[in-house]
Amino acid sequence: MENATTIWMDGEMVPWDDAQVHFLTHALHYGTAVFEGIRAYRTPDGTAIFRLREHIERLRRSTRAYGIPWDYDVDEIMEACREVVRANGLEAGYIRPLVFYALGAIGLNPAAAEVRTGIAAWEWGAYLGDEGIRNGIRVRISTWRRISGQSFIPVAKGSGQYLNSVLAKQEAIATGYDEALMLNVDGNISEGSGENLFLARDGVLFTPPISAGILDGITRASVMDLLRAEGVEIRETNLTRGDLYAADELFLTGTAAEVTPIREVDDRPIGTGKPGPLTRQAQELYAEAVTGKLESRRDWLDYV
Ligand code: PMP
């Protein structure tokens, strides 16, 4: 990770090395925080943040889901994100807002702890590698099941819930794969450790529904919107492990991962073993949308 220069902390711009927290920060002990991951892109009209409002609205929903009292307006935090990108002189990069319980409580009731907000931004290339974006990645089905709505809030980005993703990711890397796909407690496919999944079969796209315990991904929604506008049929439906093995194409979507093809699942090649036509179409349309080349989706961009 490349260090940037400035982090926004509770309304102040703080030099990178001074953006520190105390050892007794509640969120450090119990994961009592919520966050977002957002990208800014170079466009012909300058740097723009992709679907910033949707990300900050999801952040606010995450605070509500976990009962974190948070006084900011969505517009204030959107402006803070633009400020961080400007202050770091970034033309493109990744933006990480975090709302966390800080000092003031050390038991499980965080009510007495101060709620703090920080926003960092830095340069970040392809999350699953340039080679992965071009030729596809190798994934495995995790032995870990995705957190369920009976224990957590899968549609929220709660920091503590990411220990589940970390277990799956570590297992995938340790056993020689690039990424993990998780089944849910019902045995249906949910998603990757930090990405949503799409499957192509006979020219139709399928993706697990929100009720499969996935995050309601903003890239997922964007890709669905872009492809449906091109006449591609997309069905939100439960998928099994067998459906993946028999797929013509598979790809992942996420702010960090963008649109990443999957070339193998559990050592079985998918389709031809090369990124297929619907995957390429999703990649191209998404790349055009984020870089301001699609006039019809200019309202998804927030210029810094
Ligand atoms: N699922 C999980 C578990 C994630 O952490 C992410 C990344 N935020 C995604 C899916 C993709 O969501 P988005 O497209 O909104 O980045």
Instruction: List the chain domain ranges.
Output: 6-122, 130-290
Q: How far is the CA of 104 from the centre of ligand 1 (A)?
A: 31
Q: Regarding the domain delimited by 6-122, which CATH topology (the fold level of the hierarchy) does it fall under? A: D-amino Acid Aminotransferase; Chain A, domain 1 (3.30.470)
Q: Ligand 1 atom 9: the closest Cα is on which residue? A: 195
Is ligand 1 within 6 A of the CB of residue 188?
A: no
Pairing of strands 93-101, 38-43: antiparallel
Atom of ligand 1 nearest to the CA of 255: 16
Q: What is the DSSP letter of 194?
A: S
Concerning whether 293 is annotated as a catalytic residue, the answer is no
Is ligand 1 within 6 A of the CB of residue 220?
A: yes
Q: How far is the CA of 255 from the centre of ligand 1 (A)?
A: 7
Is ligand 1 within 6 A of the CB of residue 258?
A: no
d(CA 192, CA 142): 9
d(CA 212, CA 36): 21
Q: Ligand 1 atom 10: the closest Cα is on which residue? A: 195
Terminal-to-terminal C-alpha distance of the chain: 22
pLDDT score of 1:
67
pLDDT score of 110:
98
Tally the residues of the chain: 304
d(CA 16, CA 160): 24
Is ligand 1 within 6 A of the CB of residue 158?
A: no
**Cβ atoms within 10 Å of 3's Cβ, excluding its own:** 10
pLDDT score of 4:
80
Query: Residues 96, 49: contact at Cβ < 8 Å?
Result: no
> Vertex 73, ends 69 and 79: CA angle to 5°?
130
Q: Regarding the domain delimited by 130-290, which CATH topology (the fold level of the hierarchy) does it fall under? A: D-amino Acid Aminotransferase; Chain A, domain 2 (3.20.10)
Atom of ligand 1 nearest to the CA of 221: 14
Q: Ligand 1 atom 11: the closest Cα is on which residue? A: 254
In the block, tokens 């969120």 appear at 27
d(CA 281, CA 236): 19
Q: How far is the CA of 287 from the centre of ligand 1 (A)?
A: 17
Q: How far is the CA of 214 from the centre of ligand 1 (A)?
A: 9
Q: In a structure prediction context, what are the per-residue pLDDT tens digits for the chain, which is 304 residues long? A: 667 899 999 999 999 999 999 999 999 999 999 999 999 999 999 999 999 999 999 999 999 999 999 999 999 999 999 999 999 999 999 999 999 999 999 899 999 999 999 999 999 988 998 999 999 999 999 999 999 999 999 999 999 999 999 999 999 999 999 999 999 999 999 999 999 999 999 999 999 999 999 999 999 999 999 999 999 999 999 999 999 999 999 999 999 999 999 999 999 999 999 999 999 999 999 999 999 999 999 999 999 9
Beta strands in 54-203 (DSSP E): 93-101, 115-122, 137-141, 179-183, 189-192, 196-201
Longest C-alpha distance within the chain, in Å?
57
Q: Ligand 1 atom 12: the closest Cα is on which residue? A: 217
Q: Ligand 1 atom 5: the closest Cα is on which residue? A: 194
d(CA 50, CA 284): 16
d(CA 290, CA 144): 33
